[in-house]
Structure 1
Amino acid sequence: MATKSKSGTVTTTPPSKGASLISDAKLRQLHAMMLRCRMLEGSARRWRVRHEDGRRVPLPKAFWLRGREATLVGSAIDLRRDDWIGTSQPSLLPALIRGVPLVEIFSGEISDQLSHRIIPAAVPKSRALLDAAAGIALGMQAGNRGSVVMVFSLADRAEVLAHRALSYAADHQLPLIVVSVSAAARDKRGPQRSRDAAYPIIPVDGDDVIAMYRVAFESIHKARHSGGPTLIEAISSRTSGRTKPNAIRPEDPIVKLEGFMAAKNLFSAKLTQQITAKFDQEIALSMNTDEARAR
C-alpha cells in the first residue's frame, strides 16, 4: 500500500499476500519501460545520429536521468498522445515513453519534437521550461481538451516554488504537473515547503516507481478535470547525476521494483533477459536501418 514516512514522503510497502496495489499488467509495463529507458540512455554513449549536413553527432546524454527511471516512468507512463512532456535537460527518454520509433530517434529526426508534443530542448533551463509549460497549459485549457502538461525540473525546490508559473497556473487552474527532481541530501538542507501554496505539494520517494505512479495518476486525473496544478517532489537517494566509481550506490529503482514484483510472483530473471534481448535487437535493427538510409 502507499504510505507516508515521518517526513511526509510517499512510499510503498510490500503487498500482503493477495493484496493488489495496481494491476499486474501495469507493474509489468512499468518494469519493461524502466529497463528500456536505462538501455537507451546507456546506448547514447555509443551511438551517433545524422546531422542535417550529413555529419554524425552524439546523441544527447542526460546522465541526471540514469538511475532515476522510476521518477520519469512512474510519472509519465499514462500520458496520452495529446498531452505534453518536457525535461530541463535534453534527453531521449521522453520520446521513448511517447512511443516514438527508435529509427526516428537514432536518425535525429526527433528534432521535430513539437509533432510529438515534447517541449524542445531549446528551452532547457528550468525557468524557461516552466514558462513554456504554463503557456502550453493555458492554450490547452482554452481549447477545453482535457489534456495536461508534465515537466521535469532539476531546479532547486525553492526556485521552483518561487517561480511565477506555478502560481499563475494555480490562479487559472491550469492542467500543469511539475515534477521536481532532487536528491535527499540537498532536500534536507533546503527551506521548508510553503504552507500557503495555492496548489498541492507532494513529496514522493523518487526511487519508488509505484509511489510515483500513484501520485502522478491522481495528479493527472485532477488536472484533466480542472483541478489545477500539482508540484510533485521526487526525492531520490542519488546525490548527483553522475555516481562516482567509489561512491556508495543507492538502491537501484529497477531492482526495488523487481523485489516488489517477486513478492507477487510476477518477476523472474528470465523475464528481464527476454525484455533486454528484444530491445537490444530493436536498437540494432533501428541503427542498421538508419545506416542504410544514410547511404
Structure 2
Amino acid sequence: MTLLDLSARDREGKAATAVRPVWDSEPLRYLDEHGAPVEGGIRPTPALLDPGALLRGYRALRFARAFDTEATNLVMQGRLAVYPSCRGQEACEVAAVHALEEQDWLLPTYRDSAALVLRGIPAVDALTLLRGTWHCGYDPKQWRTMPQCTPLATQGPHAVGLGLAAKLAGDPAVALCFFGDGATSEGDFHEAANSAAVYQAPVVFLVQNNQYAISVPLHKQTHAISLADKASGYGMPGIRVDGNDLIAMNAVLAEAVQRARTGGGPTLIEAVTYRVQAHTNADDAARYRQSAEVEYWRRRDPIDRLGRYLTARGALDAAVEAEIDEECERYCEQMRAQFAEEPSYDADEMFEHVYDEMTPQLKAQREMLRAEEAAK
C-alpha cells in the first residue's frame, strides 16, 4: 500500500456503517473469539502458557470485572460522584499489572481503577478521586503508582521523566503508561513518545484503543488506521495486539517491559479492545453507537474467551468458578461496607498544597468559605 492509496481511501463511509472495525490487518492474538488458539498466531513462551499462571490471570480478570461492577453500583447509590467503567478492557488492566515488578511505575488514566486495585491499592483509596473527597487517596511512592490522570495524555511526559530518572540512576525500574486512543491526538502524547525515543527511556506506552474518545469514534479523530504505526515516526517499535486476549497481551507486554528494562528503549503497544459501557455514568452511549456494535464486542469478551480455553484444557471447572465467585463477592462486600461510611471533610484542605506560600486570593477564598460554614 502506498501513501497515496491510504489518503485516497474513503474510510469515513466504511467506518460509519460497519459494526466491525475497519482494520487493514488483524492484531496479534493467540486465541480467537471462541477461546481456541488461532493458526499462525503469536507464540508465547511456555511459562506464559502454564495452566496455573493462566488460571491466576483468569481470577484477576474476574476480580477486575467484579470490582468494576461494584464501582458502577456505587455510583447509582450516590457513593461515587462519577465512574468510568473498564468493562470489556480487563485483559489490558490485568496484563499491564502482571508485567510489572514491584519497583516499576504505573501511570494510569481515569479508566484504570481496576489496575490500581490489582496492584494492591485498597478500593476505598483507589476510588477517592472519583468519590470527590481528595485528589488522590493513596501514596504514589509507596505503591509506585501515579495518581489517576483525567486530562488526556498529560501523564505521558511524567512517565518519561520517571523512566529517564531511573536510567540515569542505574535503577532497573520501568514506567508503564496507559493512554486511550483519543489521547494519541494530544500534544503531550507526541512530546512523551518523542522524548522517550530520543533518550531511550525505559517506558512502555500502552494505548487501549477502545474505539471511542468519549463520543467520537476513532476514524473521526485520526486518519491513521493503526495507532501502532505512529511509533515508526518516533523511532520505536509499534505493536498492534488483540486487547481482549490476555495471553497475547501478556506475551507482548512481557517482551516490551523486558526490552525497556535491559536498555532497549521504549515501545508503543496498541491494544485493540472496546468500551462496553458508556464513557461514564453521565454519558448516553446509545446516542452515538449501534447496539449491534456493542453486541459484536460482547461476543469477544476477554473473560469468556480465556475461560473457554482453560475449560477445554481441564484447568477450569464449576468448582473453581464457584470459588472465584465467593472470593469476588467477599471483596465486593468489603467495598460496600467501606463506602457506607461517610468520609470526614476538612474544607481548609482544598486551599493547602496548592502553592508553597498561600496567595492572597486563596486566603480570601478560604476565609469566605469559613464564614459560610460558620453561618450554617
TM-score normalised by L of structure 2:
0.65
Q: Which runs of 5+ in 2 are unaligned?
A: 1-22, 39-44, 212-216, 280-284, 345-376
- Deviation of the 1:78 alpha carbon: 2.8
Deviation at 1:34?
0.7
Question: 2:201 — aligned with what?
Answer: 174
Question: Which residue of 8, 17, 23 corresponds with 2:50?
Answer: 23
Which among 20, 23, 30 is matched to residue 12 of structure 1? 30
Distance in 2 (CA, whole Å) between partners of 1:230 and 1:236 is 19
Does the aligned pair in 2 maintain the 1:106–1:290 contact within 8 Å?
no
> What is the letter of the counterpart of residue 224 of structure 2?
P
Aligned position for 2:69: 42
**Does 1:278 pair with 2:310?**
no
User: Is 242-251 or 204-213 further displaced after alignment?
Assistant: 242-251
- CA distance 1:232–1:91, change in 2 (3 Å): closer
C-alpha distance after superposition, 1:171-220 (max 9, x if no partner)? 11111111111146736973252444311100001111111110000001
Cα distance change of structure 1 residues 141 and 57 upon mapping to structure 2, 3 Å threshold:
farther
Percent identity, please: 22
Aligned residues of 1:223 and 1:229 also touching (Cα < 8 A): yes
Which digits, 9 at most, give the CA deviation of each residue in 1:141-165, with x for residues without a partner? 2222211111111143752696021
Distance in 1 of aligned mates of 2:234 and 2:81: 39
Q: Indicate how the Cα distance of structure 1 residues 270 and 246 shifts in structure 2: closer, same or farther if over 3 A, else same.
A: farther
State the SS of the aligned residue for 1:151: strand
**How many Å separate the matches in 1 of 2:67 and 2:137?**
17
Give the unaligned 5+ runs of structure 1: 49-55
Distance 1:209 1:191, change over 3 A: same
Moved more, 236-245 or 279-288: 236-245
TM-superposed CA distance for 1:267, in Å, is 1.6
- How far has the Cα of 1:129 moved from its partner? 1.2
Give the strand-richer structure, 1 or 2.
1
- State which drifts further: 231-240 or 99-108: 99-108
For 2:323 and 2:309, how far apart are their aligned partners in 1?
Answer: 19
Q: 1:160 to 1:31 in 2, by over 3 A?
A: farther
Structure 2 contact 242–273 (Cα < 8 Å) conserved: yes
Preserved CA contact (<8 Å) 1:158 1:191: no
**Cα displacement string for residues 254-290 of structure 1 (whole angstroms, at most 9, x for unaligned residues):** 0011111122211223322211212211332354367
Residues 281 and 203 (structure 1), Cα distance of their counterparts in 2 relative to 1, 3 Å cut: same
Q: Which residue does the alignment assign to 1:62?
A: 84
Q: 1:286 to 1:79 in 2, by over 3 A?
A: same
Alpha carbon RMSD of aligned pairs, Å?
3.3
1:131 partner amino acid: P
Partner residue in 2 for 1:269: 318
Q: How does 1:1-295 map to 2 (within 5 A)?
A: 7=25, 9-13=27-31, 14-15=36-37, 22-47=49-74, 57-58=79-80, 61-63=83-85, 65-102=86-123, 104-105=125-126, 111-114=137-140, 115-121=142-148, 123-156=149-182, 159=185, 163-183=190-210, 186=218, 190-191=223-224, 193-194=229-230, 195-238=232-275, 241=278, 244=286, 246-247=291-292, 248-249=294-295, 250=297, 251-285=300-334, 287-288=336-337
- 1:81–1:91 CA distance, 2 compared to 1 (3 A): same
**Aligned CA distance change for structure 1 residues 290 and 238 (closer, same or farther; 3 Å):** closer
Alpha carbons 1:207, 1:252 under 8 Å: kept: yes
SS at match of 1:178: strand
Question: CA separation of 1:163/1:103 partners in 2, compared to 1, >3 Å: closer, same or farther?
Answer: closer
Secondary structure of the structure 1 residue equivalent to 2:269? strand
Q: Are residues 59 and 81 of structure 1, via their aligned partners in 2, closer, same or farther at CA, if it must alter by over 3 Å?
A: farther
The 2-side partners of 1:281 and 1:42 are apart by: 14
**Would the alpha carbon gap of residues 174 and 187 (structure 1) be closer, same or farther in structure 2, given more than 3 Å must change?**
farther
**Cα distance 1:191–1:289, how it changes in 2: closer, same or farther (>3 A)?**
closer
User: Does the aligned pair in 2 maintain the 1:174–1:228 contact within 8 Å?
Assistant: yes
What TM-score do you get using the length of structure 1 for normalisation? 0.81
Shift of 1:45: 2.3
AA partner of residue 47 (structure 1) = L
Query: Deviation at 1:38?
Result: 0.9
Inter-CA distance 260–226: structure 2 relative to 1 (3 Å threshold): same
